[in-house]
Amino acid sequence: MTDAPPSALLADQSAYTEAVQLALDAAAAYYGDGTSTLDDDAYDRLVRGIQAYEAEHPEQVLPSSPTGKVAGGAVVGDVPHTVPMLSLDNVFSAEKLVDWAASLERRLGRPVTAWSVEPKLDGLAIAARYRDGRLAQLVTRGDGTKGEDVSHAIGTIVGLPARLAEPVTVELRGEVMMTTSQFEAACAKRQAHDGTTFANPRSAAAGTLRAQDRPYVCELTFFGYGALPAPDDASEQAARLRELPHSEVMAWVAGQGVQTTAVTDVGGIVATTLEQVQERIEQIAAKRAELAFGIDGIVIKCDLAADQAQAGFSSRAPRWAIAYKLPATEKITKLLGVEWNVGRSGIIAPRAVLEPVEIDGSTITYATLHNASDIGRRGLMLGDSVVVYKAGDVIPRVEAPVVHLRTGKEEPIPIPQVCPLCGDAIDASQERWRCVRGRACRVIASIGYAAGRDQLDIEGLAEKRIRQMLDAGLIADFADLFFLTREQVLGLERMGETSTDNLLAAIERAKAQPLSRVFCALGVRGTGRAMSRRIAKHFGSMDAIRAADAEAIEAVPGLGSGKAPVVVTELVGLSDLIDKLIRAGVNMTHPNWTPPAAPDAEAKADPDAEASDTSKGPLAGMSVVVTGAMSGALEALTRNQMNELIERAGGRSSSSVSAKTSLLVAGENAGSKRAKAETLGVHIVTPDNFAAQISAFL
């Protein structure tokens, strides 16, 4: 975890006044209709800059300043809260968390023995009022003392039942948000209605919650984080709720049929030390990119009601709780241009050129736009303010334009009518456009990919050498490499006898590569190194792969129905290349594979059985993940080679840790995958221990 990002620096009173107004406008827009001129990170920086200026110039503090106020001083709604609905103060590092906890314990005069640790959900806070167990009213946070009645949304919010399990009168507080799937569905509905999309799930949820006149309905999700009896409720049930630890209150809430984060991988826990708190923070942060909903931090609270009561409240926040903010994963920036790049297989892919913006510790200047259809669906224009998203190791992507920030100077994005590389026609029959020349459009890249270390591993075949061979007419594709003669290679510029012999030897060794690498070298759309290994292992031979129809291809684990027809079509188009490889003597079978004895025997075979004997290896039935830097006997292996090794030993390689993971091989700097494995109780071994376990396959 890192310290807080720098705040905006305000040079003088004029800049301070302008900053206060900008913050007020942004808060009013967000809490009004879910839009804002600033993203969360920019707003936080602005407010910290205002706070810093006010600390230096207390005599200049404006009454309208957003500091010290719930919802930044935005006033929305006129429904009074029974108990103030306050915000949380923030910290941005482990050191600041320790300082906050020490200050709280000094206030209490004793150590805190129980901390509640929960994810901070990135949505809109609401109070759900139940009377005799029936949902009667929904109220937004507003300015903390009063909010807006949004009871019209009752019935559209998953996780918020119309009736509780018990006929109690209680106010449940929680967060309304959109999950990833709900956001996609909402964008599709809005796109069909007016041709635009929502900027992000948070603003979509805020706007949807308040919308009463839309011709379409968007589903929302609720996660509860607290329960409050009415202040004048003297019943035994109310007294019990007031005295229960927070963790037990949340268990009661879940028991009423209300959704809490207990149903997720990041549910709340109770920690007894700050070390345990920090460990849980790291675990939740590591899971962030995999969650189906947004979080922007972790909430740490005193779990015991007595500690909360003694600590009390400030004017805007409880003193017994703090939000540990995580780095932003999305920002708003400008779309300056679009580049159209052609991949090695002829795929034409647009890339957004952005005004540089820092997200999660790295400066982003480019982001994926997927395809031309995606540009149209999102309604993007040159000059747009756009939301750029990045989480974990995911490639940055443009989410949507921020339509309310348009100035009228935006321009349509030019869509190419011919291949931007060679000028030939474009095959636009599928969402991912392709040059009609396919691999021939970027033949150098295609041959270079096939010869790469994780494919055929032909050492010494640089791009310059490939170009020489193409110019001399010696090759037209990578299969032609296997028919080169010594005299032909010697005839190339700067190719002596030693370099020629070394290159030809590398080409000869490539003939013995396993089927998975040969298939990967083909560059079939919808497949990569991992999928090529699965296909090779599933079918056992190139003949079986070529004979398979879409239904048979679809049976390969992880491939799916959408890609299967593409793979079949690609293989038909690659028939001449594959035939040439076969004539050259290139290996076309998976290691240890033997042909089936007869059609009848094949028909009777177990349909789930693999076409190899690796099921008897030391990793049989195991899902294995590799992370960090390898050492010892594994030090020289690439990640692809590690995955091949796992599968030779009978296991299944995976890139992500989950509850189904059997083993994690953790090298130096293992990072978040190790933390997640520890949380899930996955067995963890060092590279040396793993090498010893599968030594027979090294």
Query: Which amino acids are annotated catalytic?
Result: 120
Cα separation, 491 vs 489, whole angstroms: 5
Question: Residue 124 is encoded by which pair of tokens?
Answer: 């809109």
- Among 54, 112, 82, 40, residue whose Cα is nearest residue 319: 112
Cα separation, 328 vs 20, whole angstroms: 22
Q: Which residue bears the tokens 């998976």?
A: 590
A 10 A CB-CB count for 615 gives 11
Could you give phi then psi for residue 355, rounded to 5 degrees? -65, 125
Question: Residue 216 is encoded by which pair of tokens?
Answer: 């379409």
Cα separation, 670 vs 689, whole angstroms: 15
- SS3 of 254, please? helix
Rg (CA), the chain: 30
| Those residues with Cβ within 8 angstroms of residue 82's Cβ, 6 or more apart along the chain or in another chain | 171, 228, 230, 231
- SS3 of 270, please? strand
Question: Residue 564 is encoded by which pair of tokens?
Answer: 């299967």
User: Please, are residues 564 and 539 in contact by the beta-carbon 8 Å criterion?
Assistant: no
**For residue 137, what are the β-bridge partners?**
129
User: Please, are residues 173 and 225 in contact by the beta-carbon 8 Å criterion?
Assistant: yes
- Among 695, 38, 620, residue whose Cα is nearest residue 357: 38
User: Please, are residues 521 and 454 in contact by the beta-carbon 8 Å criterion?
Assistant: no
Dihedral sign from CA coordinates of 172, 175, 180, 184: positive
Residue 110 burial by CB count (10 A; 0-12/13-18/19+): exposed, middle or buried? exposed
One-letter amino acid at 394 equals V
- Among 475, 498, 457, residue whose Cα is nearest residue 586: 457
Task: Provide the strand spans (E) within 303-347.
Answer: 321-325, 330-342
- SS3 of 309, please? helix
Q: What's the DSSP call for residue 326?
A: P
A 10 A CB-CB count for 323 gives 18
Question: Residue 696 is encoded by which pair of tokens?
Answer: 């027979």
Question: Residue 320 is encoded by which pair of tokens?
Answer: 């017994």
A 10 A CB-CB count for 544 gives 21
Burial 444-480 (b: 16+ CB within 10 A, else e): ebbbbbbbbebbbbbeebeeebbebbbeeebbebbbb
One-letter amino acid at 232 equals D
User: Please, are residues 433 and 427 in contact by the beta-carbon 8 Å criterion?
Assistant: yes
